Structure 1
Amino acid sequence: MSDTERRFQYYGRRKGKALRPHHARLIAELLPQLQFDPAKFVSPSQPLRLEIGFGGGEHLAHQALLHPDTQFIGAEPFVNGVAKLLALIEAKKIGNIAVHAGDVREVFELLPDGALECIYVLYPDPWPKARHLRRRMISQDNLRQFHRLLKPGGLLLFASDIEHYVQWTLFETRKAGGFTWTAESASDWRTPFSDWIVTRYEAKAKREGRVSSYLTFRRDS
């Protein structure tokens, strides 16, 4: 365990069902090749985006294919999700994604100020119990990091189907300062982002009658 890992207490699962042989091979062979290394990956000449908790990797792979001249970092501690992303990278021959198979706070420490043009926080764990609220990704500590890491004018994109978490995010972001919610009409927060892809999780939420919200915050100059 690294010194960084000792400083951070991680909540949630790291592994689910046993990996299929193909996925196990990708974890063993492909992941080390794609593991995020700022010395090799962060280039001032290319835009850089970060997705926090990419789940099965559908959105991250979609964005990387849409924007081949942009570099992406995906952080996800759940091994099964990492394996799914690796399978997409292999199948679609994606070459602009680096992967951090662990807590995103470890990535924060490796990135310089103003390194990112965009941060995605999409359908994060809502931690609905009151005693667990401090575990939420949208927190004052993390918002300070987001503000440090985003370029002036950079975007924080948040999506959730949990209404209480949406309200929490609006409150916490306003409390933190340094961000402007870009909504201009009542329908804006129900409208998916312009280059959005419906993931399996979101499709399931819709089938179960849950309504998603999409919040865009701009990092102030």
Structure 2
Amino acid sequence: MSDPVKRSIFYGRRQGRPLRKKATELVETVLPKISVPTGDLDDIKLIDLDNLFGNSGREVWLEIGFGGGEHLAWQAEHNPEVNFIGAEYFINGVASLLGHLDDNGAQNVRIYRGDVRDMLPFLPPSSLSKVFILFPDPWHKARHNKRRIVQRETLDRLAELLVDGGELRMATDDMGYLQWMLERTVPHPDFEWIAASKQDWNQRTEDWPKTRYEEKGIKKGCKPGYLRFTRLPRS
């Protein structure tokens, strides 16, 4: 067996208020059944997605930092023919997603509880058709910018994982972070901005439901930005 993988340093909360009884039960009984096995990461081998989901030939979509899980649960319910992986470190968010899945009955979701940067190296190349990074922590202070999930190295890896024509969706209600996203993704050689006009950044598509964090921001007067990029064909 190879040496265990060195895990990324995670910044931010791991747990908030204590979980309620039903949430605790879901975490204890359901989460183990639909978790991405962390043993795969320690053994340094690619995750077998067909085995993970118990089927083959389906598209796989990834949501990075799914928050309360509203968006991921909606996508899973409305796209039952797609396999979903959700990555989230915050246990309260994981419990929230489990509650949504319990309500809508979706069976096509697997959860990685941890820093997604630790999982990305173990996904097979060209295995993802869509990736969502919605309202990530903006880390406002300049000295904390390195903690932002949208970095050149992350985009490089996502470009390797996305199929040709695959889609990367990002959203934020922090205009500084929106500029940061554009400055790193627009010039990236493997991505092309999907926009009929440069004003499309403030419009969601019909298959893009709101998240709880998005609604909170809107109530506070924040104006969200929505970005869609396609993975350019490999030469």
Does TM, normalized by the shorter one, top 0.5?
A: yes
Equivalent residue for 2:81, pick from 69, 74, 92:
69
User: 1:168 and 2:169 equivalent?
Assistant: no
**1:77-119 alpha-carbon deviations (Å, 9 max, x no partner):** 0000000001111121110000011111222122110000000
Equivalent residue for 2:140, pick from 102, 125, 128:
128
Residue segments in structure 2 that go unaligned for 5+ positions in a row: 38-46
Equivalent residue for 1:99, pick from 106, 111, 128:
111
The aligned residue for residue 13 of structure 1 is 13
Q: How far apart, CA to CA, are the structure 1 residues paired with 2:136 and 2:130?
A: 16
Q: How far apart, CA to CA, are the structure 2 residues paired with 1:117 and 1:71?
A: 10
**For the Cα contact (< 8 Å) 1:193–1:214, is it kept in 2?**
no
User: 1:41 and 2:52 equivalent?
Assistant: yes
**For the Cα contact (< 8 Å) 1:76–1:100, is it kept in 2?**
yes
Q: How far apart, CA to CA, are the structure 1 residues paired with 2:152 and 2:212?
A: 30
Counting matched residue pairs gives: 219
* TM superposition shift of 1:175: 4.1
State percent identity of aligned pairs: 40
**For the Cα contact (< 8 Å) 2:14–2:89, is it kept in 1?**
yes
Q: Select between 117-126 and 31-40 the one with higher mean Cα deviation.
A: 31-40
Pairs within 5 Å for 1:192-207: 192-207=204-219
**For the Cα contact (< 8 Å) 2:7–2:118, is it kept in 1?**
no
**1:15-69 alpha-carbon deviations (Å, 9 max, x no partner):** 1111111111111111000002533226550000000000010000000011000
Q: Which runs of 4+ in 1 moved over 3 A?
A: none
* TM superposition shift of 1:186: 3.3
**1:156-177 alpha-carbon deviations (Å, 9 max, x no partner):** 0001100111111111113432
Cα RMSD of the aligned pairs, angstroms, is 1.5
Equivalent residue for 1:187, pick from 192, 199, 224:
199
Normalising by the residue count of structure 1, what TM-score does the alignment of the two structures yield? 0.94
Q: Select between 199-208 and 162-171 the one with higher mean Cα deviation.
A: 199-208
The aligned residue for residue 3 of structure 1 is 4
Residue segments in structure 1 that go unaligned for 5+ positions in a row: none
The aligned residue for residue 93 of structure 2 is 81
Aligned residue type for 2:131: I
Q: How far apart, CA to CA, are the structure 2 residues paired with 1:154 and 1:210?
A: 29
Aligned residue type for 2:98: L
User: 1:216 and 2:216 equivalent?
Assistant: no
The aligned residue for residue 119 of structure 1 is 131
